[in-house]
Amino acid sequence: MKPRISILCHTLAGNALGRAWVFHELLRDDFEIELVVSARGGDGVWKPLAQSGLSPRRWFIRTWPGFRWRAPQIARELVTGELIIAIKPRLHSYGLGLAARRERPRPLLLDVDDWELGFFSPWSDVAVAPLSWLSAASNLHTRWYFRRTSLADAVTVSTTFLARRLGGTCIPHARPESLPPERAASPHPLVMFAGTPRPHKGLSDLVQAFRAVSLPEARLCIIGAENDRELGLAAESDRRIQIEASVPIEALPERLARAWVVVIPQRDAVVSRAQLPAKLIDAMALGKAIVATDVGDMGRWLSADCGRIVPPGDANRLGAAIEALLVDAEQRARLGANARARFLELASERAVRPRLLAIIEALLSGRRAPSPSADAMERFYAAERPFEGT
């Protein structure tokens, strides 16, 4: 019988579920996986995973006193694995994981793929502090748990930014090695972005950059921004721009396969420096030509002619890089092939799984998580990367 692992996630409707899914897919062949999620009975699943067949064990508590009172019981009833993985240092994931470990000693692995503290203001948190502690969803609990990441038996992170601050082993957003059925690229030059339209994603920069692209037949497709009013207005004023709804995670490769160029235009903010956009790995897995801004680890992943990187916030250079690729099929093919090769070496499930299994097998055996070995992935993360902007 396979050992059981409990993966704890603080939300069913947010992209933290996507990170839980990465661990689920990496571990499901070797372990029995139970997913435990804080969600009301009527909460829907995050759109990209809505058709994945996930059937998590749900629980929900509105207040912090209620959590303190009921967490031991919830842990006993729902968190039954021999090892616990908490996605993000949040009350409803890491907090429950710590409670479960107190109820029955077993190793706890904390995964951090965002600098959560960058999403909200410390001043507003202090202003509401006397009362906000009562809410289980308060940002103050997240701040508290971020300062206690060392309580976990091991930590995994997704970027060098997080590794420098929290330690731990880098585990990128792994994807399967297999390619979707071959689908022809769009007959007209197609630039594509896929993701959640948050301010640090730089979508207004992308729209401005694309308007400078001189090819009248070029198109820009933004996937996942169907509810963004500003982008909707941009699409209404420019027939070359189209906005599409989010697509299931299993359908995304076929959509991205139609793109000539995939663009990831992050702005320089603490939250984007800490992130590795999953869509970057998706595009590399498909061997797409990519243009991204030099924020966080993106320049590292696209170095050595695996993509084109430009300074953040520079719409002119972003537009020029996009147009240069749209008119140069040979360059697109070369960058895509290099990106695919790097993906296979460093971010495919085949490459990442042994790195994660080494940590989990050590923890299950009662040993400390091993220090990252001097393998190709560790050399990649440790290497200094000069800026190679276009």
Are the folds of 4-174+349-382 and 190-345 the same? yes
Superfamily of the domain at 190-345? Glycogen Phosphorylase B; (3.40.50.2000)
Structure tokens at 81: 């694995």
Give 315's contacts (C-beta < 8 A, 6+ positions apart). Answer: 205, 206, 208, 209, 212
Which whole number is the average pLDDT over 309-315? 96
Residue 364's CB is within 10 A of a number of other CB atoms, namely 15
DSSP E strand stretches across the chain: 4-9, 32-38, 57-59, 83-87, 108-112, 154-157, 169-170, 190-194, 219-223, 241-244, 261-264, 289-293, 308-310
pLDDT of residue 179: 83
Q: 182-186, 217-221, 263-267, 350-354: lowest mean pLDDT where? A: 182-186
Which whole number is the average pLDDT over 90-109? 98
pLDDT of residue 384: 67
pLDDT of residue 193: 96
Domain extents in the chain = 4-174+349-382, 190-345
Q: Are 377 and 347 in contact (CB under 8 A)?
A: no
Q: At residue 390, does pLDDT exceed 60?
A: no
Mean pLDDT score of the chain, rounded to an integer? 91
Structure tokens at 127: 């202003």
Fold exhibited by the domain 4-174+349-382: Rossmann fold (3.40.50)
Q: 47-51, 87-91, 261-265, 309-313: lowest mean pLDDT where? A: 47-51
Which whole number is the average pLDDT over 17-30? 96
How confident is residue 98, by pLDDT bands cut at 50, 70 and 90?
A: very high
SS (H, E, C) 250-269: CCHHHHHHCCCEEEECCCCC
pLDDT of residue 382: 79
pLDDT of residue 329: 97
pLDDT-above-90 percentage for the chain: 70
Q: Can you give the pTM of this predicted structure?
A: 0.93
Q: Are 194 and 221 in contact (CB under 8 A)?
A: no
